[in-house]
Structure 1
């Protein structure tokens, strides 16, 4: 089967994830992007999805997501976009004779209700996973669900999702004082978008099915991140801890099941990732 007969449908063609995976697949697949704007197929919300999608795709990769979590309208839109629209897509996969469906979920599905990060976003991702499992098990369509930890990179689209990380980079790069909460400053688990794109590519190429967490081996402390930026920009470390404030962020347990299956572990260190970001600010 040559390139022209193998098709990948990228739902969310303008997402940062899609922009990074497209070059990896471009030599082996015909790529068709689908989204709300500036895609090969610009979806019209007033038309049936069945009337807008192609008749055939070998692989469908769903990277689109809504992140609103504050107002009533945002909460409704997040649930509709992440769950109901995903459900409608699942109904059409069998018609398109899809051989592999890959859904980008989030490590935040593991959040407990007591977490300050708990929101309609992770609730909707949990719902979407349940819908996918139910619908595609019913229809016998192989699928993969990947749950990446916090994705970052030089693409400006990441700033709105992780403002504190980029605030640290901007403040420390100017040599200004940085305030961190608690005794240790908090932590997160940042996975570089290049590493995650490679995971997606290998999952598709090796036809790995199932549900997997994608995190880095060691959580990144905000203290480590800040010190790295001060060092990279030749500024003296200027950090003050606000000890009466609760530490921000959250780490997640490391599970390398997916990395073993695809013979690839994340390669981008947080320091190299920060250097990449510093080159654009």
Structure 2
């Protein structure tokens, strides 16, 4: 981590401004809405969370639009939202893996490195368990919808085919009857997935509070604003030396060498 009492050397002329802020104000970067005012990921945890929030925004966008539609148009939006929901379920485990890989630090006061407490880890696990409980109830339905009428389209048959030979698992095109395809379209009801969506929302809201993310954004005055966990060291006199970014954050900002001379 880079201490505050060291100079920062930039490849360009843009200065870095460090502002203490307990909450992340403003939108997180979305590749479809590349605004300079958005917070951008500065470390791996933030990058994973940024990706999840992008997919979440896509999913919610489809579901919200479905509320203003009827019949086929409504189901079309729900179908697209369910495909995003499946993607969300695919990437959540990696986010959780990153969270639990952080070191545990239970002491009070300034933390010396990016870490979480045992209670934060335990509570994260409880929220994640609820997600998995709801996921197990709905995953087969979601998978069927995504594979047969969503991102892929099944190899629809006039009548249901009973496979006699070895199934090629490399192919995502499942052989199903048109009657089954019709039934899948009938499953496109948002209420059927609300318990799962609600559990994911609760999980995301909680992990957003964990002190493991590093963010930065470009301000209108040409400065770079950072939002990072408050960590550092305390010397014998009680003076704090606060760190401002990790090595990955330094690379994300295209800063110079991590070997900084002392400031005057």
Shared fold (TM-score greater than 0.5)?
A: no
Q: Normalized against structure 1, the TM-score is what?
A: 0.24
Q: Normalized against structure 2, the TM-score is what?
A: 0.25
Higher relative contact order (CA 8 A, sep 6+): 2
Larger Rg: 2
